[in-house]
Chains A and B, each alone.
With several copies, the nearest count.
Chain A
Amino acid sequence: MRGFLVLIGAGLVGVTVGIMGFTFGYANGFAYFADDPATCKQCHSMNKQYDAWAKGSHKTVACQECHSPEKHSQPVQWLLSEADNGFWHSLKFTTGAYPTNIKIRDHNKELVRENCLNCHGNLVSQIEQPSLHSNAQIDCLRCHNEVGHKR
């Protein structure tokens, strides 16, 4: 009985890895590791954001500069985030199990917030100052949630 379950378990892992491999490869999951916004656009799911980004105030800023941890200063976080996001995007895309209007996940939103400061840290040094030791205090996105790509 126990052996049987292990067998099933192993089978499931195999199948899962297989699907992962297929979807990740076929759906261009590796594109996620690139810096060129065009690679995001390879999925039609990203068209809306891409089109709006291309017309927006941040068209000189690549998707990854907002949506991934800074590659050079945080290499490990960068890799983990890429793998996580690359995997989920590919899986959801392949299965089609995502809503008409996709929503940013909380931890990815947090990430975007921190990235604002990479570029605009100086500008907001005064307003951040009363809460200098807790970055999360001022939420840029409460006022600027459309900077990347207006809806």
Chain B
Amino acid sequence: NIAQRKAESTQPFFQVVQLTETSFDPAEWGKNFPAQYESWAKTAEMPASEQATPPAGDPRAFMAKSKLAADPRLVTMWQGYAFAVEYNEPRGHAYMLLDQQLVKRVQPPFKQPGSCLNCHASVPEVLNAIDPKDPAGAWATMNKMPYADATKLAKHPVTCIDCHDPATMKLRITRPAFVEGIKAYKATQGIANFDPNKDATNNEMRAFVCAQCHVEYYFKGDAKTLVFPWKNGLTANNALDYYDSIGFSDFTQSLTGAKVLKAQHPDYETWAQGIHAKNGVTCADCHMPYTRQGAVKVSDHQVRSPMADEAQINKSCLTCHHQTEAEMKGRVETIQSTWKESSSKSFDALDQLIRDIAAAKAAGNVNPDWIAAAQQWQRKAQFFQDYTVSENSRGFHAPQYALSIVADVTDAARRGQLALRGITEPVTKDPAKDYTPMKATPAPTTAAPATPAPAATPTPIVNPVYSPAAPAPTATP
């Protein structure tokens, strides 16, 4: 009621308890910040339409839907890797620890390192359990531990202490992988020794806290150190160049023998290429919009899709856009369906390349150099396709950029199919300089000649036949 409203607006919160670096229990924080705590807890809510029934024996009442069932081309692409066995839609933060503990990817025969916890648990609590005196050392220990052991030390999913300084409530970065990653990235922009906890603006932090997890990553060496591949920049191309330069691959694709990469949720990197990022619109603006709570506005800690319902669209999009909720929904649907249609075509191209290489290996009569070239193209095509389907906005975070990745997938996959047949096509850098047009003789007229005679020397040869002595085409994806 109004009397209460008027009171609320003058006193936003009471300092009920003193919070410290060992206030691991979010309920403690909730005494000072009930609105944020309550909405944070609501990440356990899940619309019935998104729920799936867990297999027999699973302790969960419901889980998220399978992405493998929705598009089994994922299964083909991931042959030789744990993802081919189980991969689901993401859901609320409340489930991150549980869903990780129960996924088949951490069960035998698969083995995972403690590193996995970086993004699925309240890490300060884990490090404290390992060694309260030496967080850096504890982190190294956690990374190398078998997952099954490490996860026993974890008690909560991401919680207040992971994102906030208990003394000032300021946002802060708690993950070493991000500190290193953003330092490397800022260096490419000419900014040396960037430290997000000292140098970042408040607005940057509103994306950085999310970018500790919603990013592409790999585990480096035997130490299983979590690393973000940002040394060359944040694009998909930059990441591929980085992995190529260090000779890294996640697994050997078992159908083709290609050494391939796994791309995971590059939400932050993709957002960074879009127009929202360019205009300083952050993850928190859309996924944690300000919500009227009586007379004050608080950040909605029920992190979720801004399209969840009309009220959510109103809170997030309509802060900046003067359109109706229905119009904003329509915009998102148009972008996502354009992406979906195009990325399905590129997925076919990748799938067909994989089957082709498998068939060529089975046939046994194909030039091994051609196979090697095709595998090299598969590496690119597969990383890019994985990149775009693992990104969680289905094209929305950067619509044009996402489509440029899709276009590259098709080109790489189809070039791979041609390479497998001995055909290497050039890439035109500057058409005005390094390209000569092919012209028909005689000179063209409006009425085209009935039997055109191609003039230039026909390259490449159609259907080259394999002979082990033939010069090997160079593999240069």
A residues apposed to B, CB below 8 Å? 26-27, 44, 93-94, 96, 99-101, 103, 122-127, 129-131, 137-139, 142-146, 150-151
Contact = CB atoms under 8 A, between A and B. Distances in A.
Interface residues of B, number: 37
Contacts of A101: 314-315, 318-319
Given A103-B324, A131-B170, A123 B296 contact: yes
A101 B290 CA distance: 10
Given A100-B289, A130-B169, A143-B320, A122 B203 contact: no
A99 B314 CA distance: 7
Given A100-B291, A123-B295, A143-B320, A130 B285 contact: no
A122 B291 CA distance: 14
B320 A137 contact: no
Contact of B290 (A26, A103, A127): A127
A93 B294 CA distance: 10
A27 B2 contact: yes
A93 B2 CA distance: 8
Contact of B320 (A123, A125, A151): A151
A28 to B, nearest CB: 10
20 contacts: A27-B2, A99-B311, A100-B292, A100-B314, A100-B315, A100-B318, A122-B295, A123-B296, A123-B297, A125-B9, A125-B12, A126-B12, A126-B296, A126-B298, A130-B170, A131-B202, A139-B280, A142-B281, A143-B285, A151-B320
A96 B294 CA distance: 8
Contacts of B168: 130
Contacts of B294: 96
A129 B170 CA distance: 8
Contacts of A143: 285, 319-320
Contacts of A138: 202
A146 B320 CA distance: 8
A130 B314 CA distance: 25
A146 B299 CA distance: 21
B44 to A, nearest CB: 23
A94 B315 CA distance: 20
B319 A122 contact: no
A136 to B, nearest CB: 9
Given A122-B296, A131-B202, A139-B203, A145 B322 contact: yes
A129 B318 CA distance: 24
A119 B315 CA distance: 21
Nearest to A133: B168
A139 B285 CA distance: 12
A124 to B, nearest CB: 6
Interface of B: 1-2, 5, 9-10, 12-13, 35, 164, 168-171, 201-203, 280-281, 285, 289-292, 294-299, 311, 314-315, 318-320, 322, 324
Contacts of B164: 130
Contacts of A100: 289-292, 297, 311, 314-315, 318-319
Nearest to A99: B314
Contacts of B324: 103
B2 A26 contact: yes
A85 B2 CA distance: 19
A138 to B, nearest CB: 7
Between B5, B171, B291, the greatest number of chain A beta carbons within 10 A of the residue's beta carbon is seen for B5
A94 B322 contact: no
A151 B202 contact: no
Given A44-B9, A127-B299, A129-B13, 19 more contacts: A93-B2, A96-B5, A100-B289, A100-B311, A100-B318, A103-B324, A123-B295, A123-B296, A123-B297, A124-B297, A125-B10, A125-B12, A126-B13, A126-B296, A126-B297, A127-B297, A130-B169, A144-B319, A150-B322
A123 B9 CA distance: 6
A124 B280 contact: no
B149 to A, nearest CB: 36
A93 B9 CA distance: 14
B169 A127 contact: no
Contacts of A145: 322
Contacts of B2: 26-27, 93-94
Contact of B322 (A96, A127, A129, A146): A146
A91 to B, nearest CB: 12
Nearest to A100: B315
B314 A122 contact: no
A142 B292 CA distance: 18
A130 B296 contact: no
A151 B164 CA distance: 28
Contacts of A44: 5, 9, 295
Contacts of B299: 127
B152 to A, nearest CB: 33
A99 B280 CA distance: 24
Contacts of B314: 99-101
B298 A127 contact: yes
A138 B292 CA distance: 17
Contacts of B281: 142
B9 A129 contact: no
A125 B10 CA distance: 8
Nearest to A128: B12
A110 to B, nearest CB: 15
B4 to A, nearest CB: 10
A122 B10 contact: yes
A137 B318 contact: no
A130 B170 CA distance: 5
A129 B315 contact: no
B3 to A, nearest CB: 9
Contacts of A144: 319
Between A127, A130, A145, the greatest number of chain B beta carbons within 10 A of the residue's beta carbon is seen for A130
Given A94-B2, A126-B13, A103 B296 contact: no
